Structure formats: C-alpha cells, structure tokens
Amino acid sequence: MVYYDEDGIVIRDLQRSDAQIITDEEIAQGWDATIDKYKMRLRHQAEGKAIALVAEWNGRVAGYINVYPDCKCGAYANRGYAEIVDFGVLEKYRRRGIGGRLMDIAEQIASSYSDVVTLGVGLHSGYGSAQRMYVKRGYIPDGSGVWYQGQVCEPYRKCRNDDDLVLYLAKRIK
C-alpha cells in the first residue's frame, strides 16, 4: 500500500526486497546492521502486529519506520497506546523532508489506534537529530527517567551509553 506520493517521496509498506537494501546501506554508512531486524518487522507486519513502512526518494529506498498499534514494552507497555519503533533515514538522504513525512504518516496511522503515540529514543549522540525532531514535534518524556536494557535505570546504577539506553516520550495526537 502507498501512503504518500509527492515531491519525489513515496511512503509505502515495507517489502521483502527492501530488507537487504536497507541493511547494505546501513553497513555502508558504518552502522552495525543485520537483516534480521527487517525480517522481524516483515513478520510482524504479516501477523498484523505492526505497520512497517519504507520511504523512497526518487525511486531509491531512503528510510523506514514502524507503527505498533499496542505498545508491549517500555514505559508505556500495555496501556493501549500506539508506538513508533525503529525510525531511520539513511544518511545520504537526510535533510530532504523524508523523516518528517515518515513521522507524519506514522502518526496518522497511530491515530487510528489510540489518541497517544509513544516512542523510545536513544541517548547517545547518534540519536541527536531524532531527539531534536521529536521535541520539535511535541513529544515529551514520560517522567520515569532513562531505561536501560528494558528496565528503568535506577539512580546511580551503572549502564552504558549504547543503543539500549533510552528515554521514552509520548505525544497526544487526537
């Protein structure tokens, strides 16, 4: 299904062939990527657990985002809120409005499931542009502090500033 098609940007359902393209592009830009994550998103989409989207820029795969209608982990687990998971735009396609459009469509989809959309964002500098985008779009922290490896990181507990250190945010969309 195509959700958006304008100004060279197409947002559509993730397809099996996209998984290898995204993985190869992420590896090329120095990320520690495997195809397993995308295979899981495709499986979740087929099972009706998620809506997995990909963005194209002038016919080339440029980014991705996933909407889970019912958040199952983290600060908002089992509260009936939709969750945005694993959002990314490949570096060579950034600053073209692709990320904003992916978020627009993801929020639109999420609004059909709940009046609040949630997400977790990493805290290291690699997530800096996403952190800024979420704040500009009106997302606010849930108040539980940072989470590490799926649990609240208690004050003064040791943790690593890796992809498992996240802050959960939410936004009312209705």
Report pTM: 0.93
Q: Candidates 3.40.50.1820, 3.40.630.30, 1.10.10.10, 3.10.290.10; correct CATH number of 2-172?
A: 3.40.630.30
Q: Taking the domains of the chain in order of start, what are their residue ranges?
A: 2-172
Distance CA 90, CA 68 (A): 22
Q: Is 122 exposed, middle or buried (0-12, 13-18, 19+ CB in 10 A)?
A: middle
Q: Along the 174 residues of the chain, how does pLDDT read in single tens digits?
A: 999 999 999 999 999 999 999 999 999 999 888 999 999 999 999 999 999 999 999 999 999 999 999 999 899 999 999 999 999 999 999 999 999 999 999 999 999 999 999 999 999 998 998 999 999 999 999 999 999 999 999 999 999 999 999 999 999 998
